[in-house]
Structure 1
Amino acid sequence: MKENILKRAIEISKDILKTVVREGDIVVDCTAGNGYDTVFLAKLIGEKGKVYTFDIQEKAIKNTERKLSETDLLDKVVLIHDGHENILSHVKENIKCAMFNLGYLPGGDHNITTSPKNVIKAIKGCLKLLSPKGIITIVCYTGHTGGKNELKELINYLVELDQRKYMVINYKILNQINSPPQMIAVEKQYQE
């Protein structure tokens, strides 16, 4: 079967990051979840790179650690059991990308979700660390309680970023029911 040209939000996010991340880069998975994005990033950075991975839930950190062990990638990753809003306390190097997959932990407690305040604080931290031509991707799920408000607050913040310093895009599917996720990407144009 032929692959679709138009893709889902998470696939677009990964396609963008594949064009940006190179072997040896330092990258961040801001929402560890079940480890799939961390594994994806760890494969992109090769032998000499590093992935910092954040999650507030111990279950997510353990799921990610298990997934990394199964794929022999654990040595490339720093697992951080803390909120992504504290990124500047943990990451001191410049980063090539940051990846957010918002909402709740699949298979976890749907009452534990990302919050707009913390996500915006994390994005601000990522923007400080981001290398020129680096990218932040944010996949926003709006079907859960608070999801639509989170997306609205993120967009309200991101549209105010200086267009001379950042380019921001919003990829959304218009004709799908059940609140399909949207992907937002931010590219840093040059070093401040």
Structure 2
Amino acid sequence: MLLNILDFVHKNIQQTVQAGDTVIDATAGNGHDTLFLASCVGAQGKVVAFDIQATALEATSNRLAKAGYSERVQLIHAGHEHLSEYIKSKVSAIIFNLGYLPGGDKNCTTQANTTLKAMQSGLNLLTDNGVLAAVLYPGHEQGKIEAETIQTWAQSLPQQHIAVLKYAFINRINDAPFALILQKHL
């Protein structure tokens, strides 16, 4: 059975993250990925989640509180391009679920230049065999620019140190979302 895009990303992260790890949700959104990551790291682990929208962080905070995972997560009201200013330790996984906040303002989207900066910084923070996963949404104007920029960058990474996988359904209409999974090898 083929997994949908986000389930595929979660499965890969779940196979990488160990209890006690530190991980990053670069785009907290409504908190679904943050909650998933909090379940992966266990009580001794840590999730650092970024978002520029206060409403997103509030939704994430509420979701975590209901699940009893608030203590495992640090919420940061800043763009993901600033992640290296907040995180100095190595991380085993980073997830970017790009685009706009579901149910929010569709004009407030992630941007190619800030996402690229965040991903470049994120690669430097990854442990050996760590995973950076990005779900890209080329179905809207900014998403198309972002997807092209990120894919071009990912294709240029040295294969000796970074394995890059693209997971996409090629017979879907309307510029369907796809995932890039980057795994670091020292």
Amino acid across the alignment from 2:157? L
Q: How many residues align?
A: 186
What stretches of structure 1 of length at least 5 have no aligned partner? Answer: none
Please report how far the alpha carbon of residue 43 of structure 1 lies from its aligned counterpart in structure 2 after TM superposition.
0.4
CA RMSD in angstroms comes to 0.7
Amino acid across the alignment from 1:142? P
Q: CA deviation digits over 1:113-146, x for unaligned, max 9?
A: 0001001100011111100000000000111221
Please report how far the alpha carbon of residue 57 of structure 1 lies from its aligned counterpart in structure 2 after TM superposition.
0.4
| Counterpart residue number, 2:12 | 16
Amino acid across the alignment from 1:171? Y
Residue pairs, 1:63-82, within 5 angstroms: 63-82=59-78
Matched residues in 1 for 2:156 and 2:29: separation? 29
What stretches of structure 2 of length at least 5 have no aligned partner? Answer: none
Please report how far the alpha carbon of residue 178 of structure 1 lies from its aligned counterpart in structure 2 after TM superposition.
2.6
Amino acid across the alignment from 1:96? S
- Percent of aligned positions that are identical: 38
Does 2:42 align with 1:46?
A: yes
| Counterpart residue number, 2:87 | 91
Q: TM-score, normalised by structure 2?
A: 0.98
Does 2:162 align with 1:166?
A: yes
| Counterpart residue number, 2:29 | 33
Amino acid across the alignment from 1:82? A
| Counterpart residue number, 1:62 | 58
Amino acid across the alignment from 2:27? T
Does 2:148 align with 1:144?
A: no
| Counterpart residue number, 1:131 | 127
